[in-house]
Amino acid sequence: MLFMVEMDVNVPLDTDQERFAALKQAEKERFQELQRAGTWRHIWRVVGHYSNVSIFDVADNAALHDILTALPLYPFMNIRVTALCRHPSSIHDDDR
């Protein structure tokens, strides 16, 4: 199943910067691992915000939930999820 996931990161001003830098590095490593596996198919930065729009390809809602809640930056995120389905006019076979 494909899902569009919008993630806004909100970091409190009093957050320890060294701890946050380590969380960002862990987040990057996890993202790249999921990207190589084909689970996190696309990611785009939202201009002017500490936000992204991503496309996930997972088995079901529960799988997506497990992935998102395990992300290192999850405690700092506001997340919106939209289920997607293939548009009948798409020319791409991998749009499921």
pLDDT tens-place string over residues 28-85: 999 999 999 999 999 999 999 999 999 999 999 999 999 999 999 999 999 999 999 8
Which residue range forms the structural domain that includes residue 49?
A: 2-84
Q: How far apart are CA 22 and CA 51, in angstroms?
A: 18
Number of domains into which the chain is organized = 1
DSSP string of 1-26, one letter each residue: -EEEEEEEE---TTS-HHHHHHHHHH
Q: How far apart are CA 15 and CA 23, in angstroms?
A: 11
pLDDT tens-place string over residues 4-13: 999 999 999 9
Residues with Cβ < 8 Å from 88, sequence gap 6 or more?
A: none
In a domain, residue 92? The reply is: no
**Residue 46 phi/psi, 5° resolution?**
-95, 120
In a domain, residue 74? The reply is: yes
| CATH code of residue 15 | 3.30.70.1060
